[in-house]
A and B are shown apart, each in its own frame.
Chain A
Amino acid sequence: DTEVTQTPKHLVMGMTNKKSLKCEQHMGHRAMYWYKQKAKKPPELMFVYSYEKLSINESVPSRFSPECPNSSLLNLHLHALQPEDSALYLCASSPYQGSGELFFGEGSRLTVL
Protein backbone atom coordinates (compact mmCIF):
# COMPACT_ATOMS: atom_id res chain seq x y z
CA ASP A 1 0.00 0.00 0.00
CA THR A 2 1.71 3.17 -1.20
CA GLU A 3 -1.20 5.50 -0.68
CA VAL A 4 -1.81 8.48 1.51
CA THR A 5 -5.54 8.83 2.07
CA GLN A 6 -7.12 12.17 2.94
CA THR A 7 -10.69 12.79 4.07
CA PRO A 8 -12.88 14.58 3.35
CA LYS A 9 -12.08 15.41 -0.28
CA HIS A 10 -14.20 18.56 -0.06
CA LEU A 11 -15.23 20.60 2.95
CA VAL A 12 -17.29 23.77 3.23
CA MET A 13 -17.38 25.51 6.60
CA GLY A 14 -18.43 28.77 8.13
CA MET A 15 -16.05 31.00 10.03
CA THR A 16 -17.45 29.89 13.39
CA ASN A 17 -17.36 26.16 12.68
CA LYS A 18 -14.95 23.57 14.02
CA LYS A 19 -13.93 20.84 11.59
CA SER A 20 -11.06 18.42 11.07
CA LEU A 21 -9.10 17.08 8.14
CA LYS A 22 -7.77 13.55 8.37
CA CYS A 23 -4.82 11.81 6.78
CA GLU A 24 -3.80 8.17 6.93
CA GLN A 25 -0.87 6.14 5.64
CA HIS A 26 0.10 2.50 6.11
CA MET A 27 3.58 2.55 4.63
CA GLY A 28 5.30 2.58 8.01
CA HIS A 29 6.51 6.13 7.43
CA ARG A 30 7.61 8.02 10.52
CA ALA A 31 7.33 11.56 9.16
CA MET A 32 4.11 13.26 8.15
CA TYR A 33 3.46 16.71 6.71
CA TRP A 34 0.72 19.26 6.12
CA TYR A 35 0.99 21.61 3.14
CA LYS A 36 -1.42 24.32 2.01
CA GLN A 37 -1.85 25.14 -1.66
CA LYS A 38 -3.71 28.09 -3.14
CA ALA A 39 -4.80 28.10 -6.77
CA LYS A 40 -1.90 28.35 -9.24
CA LYS A 41 0.63 28.58 -6.40
CA PRO A 42 3.15 26.06 -5.08
CA PRO A 43 2.41 24.04 -1.94
CA GLU A 44 3.44 25.82 1.27
CA LEU A 45 4.77 23.82 4.19
CA MET A 46 2.72 24.16 7.38
CA PHE A 47 3.74 21.41 9.80
CA VAL A 48 6.07 18.44 10.03
CA TYR A 49 5.69 15.55 12.46
CA SER A 50 8.50 13.14 13.16
CA TYR A 51 7.89 10.02 15.23
CA GLU A 52 4.51 11.48 16.25
CA LYS A 53 6.06 14.65 17.65
CA LEU A 54 5.69 18.10 16.12
CA SER A 55 9.04 18.93 14.60
CA ILE A 56 8.41 21.96 12.40
CA ASN A 57 5.71 24.63 12.64
CA GLU A 58 6.10 27.21 9.89
CA SER A 59 4.55 29.99 11.98
CA VAL A 60 1.05 28.80 11.19
CA PRO A 61 -1.82 30.68 12.92
CA SER A 62 -3.27 28.92 15.94
CA ARG A 63 -6.63 28.49 14.24
CA PHE A 64 -4.90 25.51 12.58
CA SER A 65 -4.11 22.81 15.13
CA PRO A 66 -2.30 19.64 14.04
CA GLU A 67 -2.46 16.34 15.86
CA CYS A 68 -0.69 13.03 15.30
CA PRO A 69 -2.54 10.35 17.37
CA ASN A 70 -0.29 7.55 16.10
CA SER A 71 2.28 6.86 13.43
CA SER A 72 -0.37 6.22 10.76
CA LEU A 73 -2.70 9.14 11.37
CA LEU A 74 -2.42 12.89 11.06
CA ASN A 75 -5.23 15.35 11.74
CA LEU A 76 -5.59 19.05 11.14
CA HIS A 77 -8.17 20.70 13.39
CA LEU A 78 -9.74 23.86 12.03
CA HIS A 79 -11.44 26.55 14.09
CA ALA A 80 -12.48 30.13 13.42
CA LEU A 81 -11.02 30.13 9.93
CA GLN A 82 -11.10 33.06 7.54
CA PRO A 83 -12.21 33.04 3.90
CA GLU A 84 -8.56 33.48 2.85
CA ASP A 85 -7.84 30.07 4.40
CA SER A 86 -9.77 28.46 1.54
CA ALA A 87 -7.27 26.23 -0.24
CA LEU A 88 -6.24 22.67 -1.03
CA TYR A 89 -4.72 21.07 2.05
CA LEU A 90 -2.22 18.37 1.23
CA CYS A 91 -0.95 15.67 3.54
CA ALA A 92 2.28 13.82 2.84
CA SER A 93 4.43 11.18 4.46
CA SER A 94 8.02 10.02 4.11
CA PRO A 95 10.08 7.21 5.64
CA TYR A 96 11.77 9.71 7.96
CA GLN A 97 12.07 13.47 8.32
CA GLY A 98 14.86 14.41 5.99
CA SER A 99 13.89 12.00 3.22
CA GLY A 100 13.38 13.97 0.02
CA GLU A 101 10.79 11.54 -1.30
CA LEU A 102 7.41 12.58 0.01
CA PHE A 103 4.23 10.65 -0.78
CA PHE A 104 1.29 13.01 -1.11
CA GLY A 105 -2.42 12.44 -0.77
CA GLU A 106 -4.89 13.97 -3.21
CA GLY A 107 -5.76 16.73 -0.80
CA SER A 108 -8.80 18.15 0.93
CA ARG A 109 -10.38 21.11 -0.83
CA LEU A 110 -11.51 23.56 1.88
CA THR A 111 -13.91 26.44 1.32
CA VAL A 112 -14.50 28.90 4.16
CA LEU A 113 -17.64 31.01 3.80
Chain B
Amino acid sequence: LAKTTQPISMDSYEGQEVNITCSHNNIATNDYITWYQQFPSQGPRFIIQGYKTKVTNEVASLFIPADRKSSTLSLPRVSLSDTAVYYCLVGDIGSSNTGKLIFGQGTTLQVKP
Protein backbone atom coordinates (compact mmCIF):
# COMPACT_ATOMS: atom_id res chain seq x y z
CA LEU B 1 0.00 0.00 0.00
CA ALA B 2 1.31 3.42 -0.95
CA LYS B 3 2.29 5.61 1.96
CA THR B 4 1.01 9.17 1.93
CA THR B 5 2.55 12.31 3.41
CA GLN B 6 0.58 15.48 4.08
CA PRO B 7 1.26 18.67 6.01
CA ILE B 8 0.11 18.26 9.60
CA SER B 9 -1.72 21.58 9.66
CA MET B 10 -2.63 24.61 7.56
CA ASP B 11 -4.22 27.96 8.29
CA SER B 12 -6.35 30.01 5.93
CA TYR B 13 -8.84 32.88 5.93
CA GLU B 14 -12.42 32.92 4.80
CA GLY B 15 -12.85 33.43 1.08
CA GLN B 16 -9.39 32.18 0.17
CA GLU B 17 -8.59 29.17 -1.99
CA VAL B 18 -6.84 26.41 -0.08
CA ASN B 19 -4.56 23.84 -1.68
CA ILE B 20 -3.52 20.76 0.30
CA THR B 21 -0.81 18.62 -1.26
CA CYS B 22 -0.29 14.92 -0.62
CA SER B 23 2.85 13.01 -1.55
CA HIS B 24 2.59 9.35 -2.56
CA ASN B 25 5.91 8.48 -4.19
CA ASN B 26 5.31 4.73 -4.41
CA ILE B 27 1.81 4.86 -5.88
CA ALA B 28 1.01 1.75 -7.92
CA THR B 29 -0.43 1.63 -11.41
CA ASN B 30 -3.87 0.54 -10.22
CA ASP B 31 -4.09 2.98 -7.30
CA TYR B 32 -6.63 5.76 -7.12
CA ILE B 33 -6.38 8.86 -4.94
CA THR B 34 -9.26 9.67 -2.61
CA TRP B 35 -9.79 12.57 -0.22
CA TYR B 36 -12.00 12.62 2.88
CA GLN B 37 -13.04 15.37 5.27
CA GLN B 38 -13.66 14.79 8.97
CA PHE B 39 -15.23 17.08 11.56
CA PRO B 40 -14.72 16.41 15.30
CA SER B 41 -16.77 13.49 16.64
CA GLN B 42 -18.11 12.63 13.19
CA GLY B 43 -17.24 9.99 10.64
CA PRO B 44 -15.15 10.96 7.61
CA ARG B 45 -17.00 12.21 4.54
CA PHE B 46 -15.94 11.46 0.96
CA ILE B 47 -14.88 14.57 -0.96
CA ILE B 48 -13.37 13.55 -4.28
CA GLN B 49 -11.51 10.78 -6.07
CA GLY B 50 -9.29 10.65 -9.12
CA TYR B 51 -6.72 8.68 -11.10
CA LYS B 52 -4.95 11.29 -13.21
CA THR B 53 -5.09 14.89 -14.48
CA LYS B 54 -7.94 16.88 -12.97
CA VAL B 55 -11.23 16.01 -11.36
CA THR B 56 -13.77 18.60 -10.26
CA ASN B 57 -17.06 18.34 -8.40
CA GLU B 58 -19.31 20.83 -6.64
CA VAL B 59 -17.11 20.85 -3.54
CA ALA B 60 -13.49 20.61 -4.65
CA SER B 61 -10.96 19.96 -7.38
CA LEU B 62 -8.25 17.34 -7.43
CA PHE B 63 -5.09 17.90 -9.44
CA ILE B 64 -2.85 14.93 -10.23
CA PRO B 65 0.36 15.44 -12.25
CA ALA B 66 1.45 13.02 -14.93
CA ASP B 67 3.85 11.10 -12.67
CA ARG B 68 1.06 10.69 -10.05
CA LYS B 69 3.57 10.91 -7.21
CA SER B 70 1.57 13.69 -5.59
CA SER B 71 -1.89 15.19 -5.68
CA THR B 72 -3.43 18.50 -4.62
CA LEU B 73 -6.88 19.00 -3.17
CA SER B 74 -8.16 22.50 -3.96
CA LEU B 75 -10.98 24.03 -1.93
CA PRO B 76 -12.31 27.24 -3.50
CA ARG B 77 -13.34 30.15 -1.28
CA VAL B 78 -13.27 28.38 2.08
CA SER B 79 -15.57 29.32 4.93
CA LEU B 80 -15.34 28.76 8.68
CA SER B 81 -17.32 25.53 8.25
CA ASP B 82 -14.49 24.05 6.19
CA THR B 83 -12.37 23.83 9.35
CA ALA B 84 -11.73 20.09 9.57
CA VAL B 85 -9.17 17.33 9.09
CA TYR B 86 -8.53 16.35 5.47
CA TYR B 87 -7.23 12.88 4.66
CA CYS B 88 -5.52 11.72 1.47
CA LEU B 89 -5.84 7.99 0.74
CA VAL B 90 -4.21 5.94 -1.97
CA GLY B 91 -5.37 2.44 -2.81
CA ASP B 92 -6.34 -0.05 -5.46
CA ILE B 93 -10.06 0.53 -5.44
CA GLY B 94 -10.68 -1.10 -8.77
CA SER B 95 -10.28 -4.62 -7.45
CA SER B 96 -12.84 -6.27 -5.25
CA ASN B 97 -10.06 -8.44 -3.92
CA THR B 98 -8.43 -5.52 -2.16
CA GLY B 99 -10.44 -2.46 -1.23
CA LYS B 100 -8.19 -1.60 1.69
CA LEU B 101 -8.49 2.09 2.33
CA ILE B 102 -5.81 3.15 4.78
CA PHE B 103 -5.97 6.67 6.17
CA GLY B 104 -2.82 8.77 6.38
CA GLN B 105 -2.12 11.21 9.19
CA GLY B 106 -4.33 13.96 7.73
CA THR B 107 -4.08 17.73 7.50
CA THR B 108 -5.87 19.88 10.04
CA LEU B 109 -7.19 22.96 8.22
CA GLN B 110 -8.08 25.94 10.38
CA VAL B 111 -10.09 28.64 8.62
CA LYS B 112 -10.04 32.02 10.33
CA PRO B 113 -12.50 34.91 9.94
Contact = CB atoms under 8 A, between A and B. Distances in A.
A, B assembled together: yes
Interface string B72-113: 000000000000000101011111111111111110000000
Interface residues of B, number: 28
A98 interface: yes
Which secondary structure dominates where chain A touches chain B? strand
Interface in A39-80: 42-45, 48, 50, 55-56
A109 B99 CA distance: 25
Nearest to A6: B43
Nearest to A31: B99
B42 A43 contact: no
Chain A interface category by residue count: 20 to 34
A21 interface: no
Contact of B100 (A4, A45, A106): A45
Interface string A74-112: 000000000000001010101011111111111101000
Interface stretch (B10-18, B20-28, B44-52, B63-71): B44-52
A42 B101 contact: no
B29 interface: no
Contact of A101 (B49, B92, B98): B49
Contacts of A109: 41
Contact of A104 (B32, B44, B102): B44
B4 to A, nearest CB: 10
Nearest to A4: B43
28 contacts: A31-B99, A42-B103, A42-B104, A42-B106, A43-B44, A43-B103, A44-B103, A45-B101, A45-B102, A55-B99, A56-B99, A56-B100, A88-B41, A90-B43, A96-B96, A96-B99, A97-B99, A98-B92, A98-B95, A98-B97, A100-B32, A100-B34, A100-B89, A100-B91, A101-B49, A102-B46, A105-B43, A109-B41
> Top 4 A-B pairs ranked by shortest CB distance?
A104-B43, A42-B103, A97-B99, A100-B93
